[in-house]
Amino acid sequence: MERSVDGSAGVSRRSVLTSLVAGLTATSGCLSRLRAMVGRQEPSAVTLSIKTLPVDEDPFAIPIARQLSAWFEAAGIRTSVQPMTAGELYQQVLLNHNFDVFVGQFPSHVTDPDALYSLLHSTYSVEPGLQNPFGYTNLLMDDLLEQQRVEAADARAEAAAAIQRQLVDVAPFSVIGFPHSVRAARTDQFTGWTAAFDPSIAHVLGLTRVDEDATTLRATTPDGRPMANLNPLMASYRGPSDATDLLYDPLARRHRGTLYPWAAGEWAWTESDPPELELTLREEMLWHDGEAVTADDVAFTYALLQDTSLGSLEQAVPALRFRGRSSLVENVAALDDLTVRFRFTDCTRAVASRALTVPILPEHIWSDRTSRAQFSGVDVGVTTTEALVTDAIPPVGSGPLAYESVTSRQRLVLDRYEDHFLHRDVETGLPSSFASGAPFERLELQFVASDSSAVDRIANGEADVTALGVGPDLTSRIGRTDELSLHVNRSPSFYLAGFNARRSPLTNPRFRVLLSRLVDRAALETSVFEGYVEPAASPLSGTTWLPSELSWSPDGSAAEFLGSDGVVDTEQARAAFRAAGYRYNEQGRLIR
């Protein structure tokens, strides 16, 4: 202690004691004050990144993402847009769960309420793959999803409606709409483009050859993934209708709402609570390498989908796709070479039969892929199996087309498989569009760097059709060109903005709902899609499962836009976020 300036003796003993006691008292008060302040999180500005595809790979994704980003910014949320190639985007979104918001077309078709089971059930929120990429968890939703599996008729429809209402209410993702894909095709070699064309089986097999000398059907695509990977279990490489659908046969195929026997020639239900099914494979089916397709392959496939390590690793490693459908199956037993018995979990027959539409894989190939995956012989510390990392090229399937070659990641060639039951002289009981098989010797999928050069290639006779939709700005050019015919069809896979509910503040359903209320579907319809879209609020739009109050109309209330005519009302938006408990800093940025 220093001497005071006036030179007085300084501090008495009593004053020292007094101040010590006072100090201690103060300190204890101080500490609790300190404790009350330390370790709190300083509010920080909310930032979101939107991951999406570049313009070369999707004509709508970047425009949607930029528009969303502008709307979010208007509400004070700093937003960036990150374009990335499809393989990388879906690796980050589906497998690594490394995203805030992602914009794109949903990589699968949703036509049945049970398709939402794997998408939204909380038990899948921790698994990588197409199942619940949003990390969404809600016990109420889980109940509804389980309910629609066991209820029949009206009760199921009511459960399905409740699921969709809940979906809009808590917004794990926001449906934007079903695009009308614009395609260019030539008609001098093949016709029958009336249906939307994509590499899906119904469209490829439904064509008619008009030029007897035409041997090769050539389709262009801006998606390079089929040239890099043909593994049907690899979620990040598979699109909504995929080349692997042509390479592999499922037991049954759904076409226009009806389930047709495919690899299974026939089946019969033997029990119903829970359902049991006895099913017989078609005779003399062969894998593309000449081995016979057997009941053991079927039993193996369903076991593999549930655990690709087949029990060899400490924890189960489920497949990255088909999770909802494979979860319906309790047990599959091969009774003899061609007969299989399915025992399902507690569900209706209608739901159980969905499990029959997954591709059947050859045991003699995939049984070698059940070990822990390594990189060049090195274990990189990730528990996954070879089956979920292999590119599976060359693929061995049993489908109507067999793998021929891939040329420098630019061209995938598939040949008509003559031993397939469609191509043999046997009665199949399938509708006429399938029954005659592939109307060509060879299918060539050509990678093109952008959609305008795809149209150019078709006009020049180097390809027959654009496999995926092109930008609406090309419609007039396609219409003007004599060699080209223009086809516009509603795509069955919707555009969505998916939210990662594992990340704050997207964990908060109020925040997600407000984000989805910053999306003006009517404005997107005109400014981005130029009319080539059917705006929608539910993934089941266009099916009979859609409850009437969720059908979209420009002035509907499904999710009310916080503004009007595509312009966010900043005050209204901020008031809504404030009402949800959020605040704004001096710069007008939303903080949490």
Partner 1 sequence: MGILAVLTEAAVVLSVLLSVSLGVVVGPRQVRRGLADHRARLWMAARPLAVLVAVLALNSVVRDYGVSVSWIIGLNVTDEIYAVEGAVVATLQSVAPLWFVYYLGYVYVYGYVFLLVFPLLATVVTGEHRLLRRTALAYTVNYAVGMTCYVLFVSYGPRNAVPTVEPLLFDLLPRFQLLTSEVNANTNVFPSLHTSLSVTAALLALDTHETFPKWTPAAVVLAASVVLSTMVLGIHWATDVIAGVLLAAFSVWLANDDRIDAIGRR
Residues that bind partner 1 (CB under 8 A): 49, 54-56, 62-63, 66, 80-85, 88, 448-450, 452-453, 455-456, 460, 462, 528
The β-bridge partners of 80 are 49
Task: Tell me how far CA of residue 350 lies from CA of 202, 269, 541, in angstroms.
Answer: 22, 11, 20
Helical pair 509-516 and 570-579, crossing angle rounded to 10 deg: 170
Q: What's the burial of 357, exposed, middle or buried (CB within 10 Å: 0-12/13-18/19+)?
A: middle
The least distance separating partner 1 from the CB of residue 56, rounded to whole angstroms, comes to: 6
CA dihedral (295, 296, 297, 301) positive or negative: positive
3-class DSSP state for residue 464? coil
Q: Which amino acid is at 268?
A: A
Of 83 and 206, the one with the shorter C-beta distance to partner 1 is 83
The least distance separating partner 1 from the CB of residue 343, rounded to whole angstroms, comes to: 43
Of 63 and 226, the one with the shorter C-beta distance to partner 1 is 63
3-class DSSP state for residue 335? coil
Task: Tell me how far CA of residue 497 lies from CA of 33, 64, 238, 314, 429, in angstroms.
Answer: 44, 9, 19, 36, 41
CB–CB of 416/197 below 8 Å? no
Question: Which structure tokens are listed for 48?
Answer: 């979101």
CA separation for the pair 240, 244 (Å, rounded): 11
- The torsion angle over the Cα atoms of residues 209, 215, 216 and 217, rounded to 10 degrees, is 10
Question: Which structure tokens are listed for 384?
Answer: 């996954």
The least distance separating partner 1 from the CB of residue 67, rounded to whole angstroms, comes to: 8
DSSP string, 217-280: EEEEES--GGGT---TT-GGG--SS-THHHHS-BSEEEETTEEEESSEEEEEEEEETTEEEEEE
Of 250 and 471, the one with the shorter C-beta distance to partner 1 is 471
Q: Is the backbone of residue 563 left (phi > 0), alpha (psi -120 to 50) or beta?
A: left
Q: Which amino acid is at 336?
A: D
The least distance separating partner 1 from the CB of residue 566, rounded to whole angstroms, comes to: 14
Of 12 and 408, the one with the shorter C-beta distance to partner 1 is 408
3-class DSSP state for residue 268? strand
Q: Which amino acid is at 396?
A: V
3-class DSSP state for residue 397? coil
The least distance separating partner 1 from the CB of residue 409, rounded to whole angstroms, comes to: 8
Pairing label, strands 78-83, 47-52 = parallel
The least distance separating partner 1 from the CB of residue 82, rounded to whole angstroms, comes to: 6
The least distance separating partner 1 from the CB of residue 411, rounded to whole angstroms, comes to: 12
The least distance separating partner 1 from the CB of residue 447, rounded to whole angstroms, comes to: 9
The least distance separating partner 1 from the CB of residue 453, rounded to whole angstroms, comes to: 4
CB–CB of 400/244 below 8 Å? no
Of 70 and 488, the one with the shorter C-beta distance to partner 1 is 70
Of 455 and 558, the one with the shorter C-beta distance to partner 1 is 455
The least distance separating partner 1 from the CB of residue 442, rounded to whole angstroms, comes to: 19
The least distance separating partner 1 from the CB of residue 246, rounded to whole angstroms, comes to: 26
The least distance separating partner 1 from the CB of residue 455, rounded to whole angstroms, comes to: 8
Of 310 and 454, the one with the shorter C-beta distance to partner 1 is 454
Of 129 and 471, the one with the shorter C-beta distance to partner 1 is 471
Q: Nearest CA to 222 among 482, 471, 483?
A: 471
Of 65 and 279, the one with the shorter C-beta distance to partner 1 is 65
CA separation for the pair 283, 74 (Å, rounded): 63
Of 59 and 397, the one with the shorter C-beta distance to partner 1 is 59
CA separation for the pair 452, 474 (Å, rounded): 7
3-class DSSP state for residue 339? strand
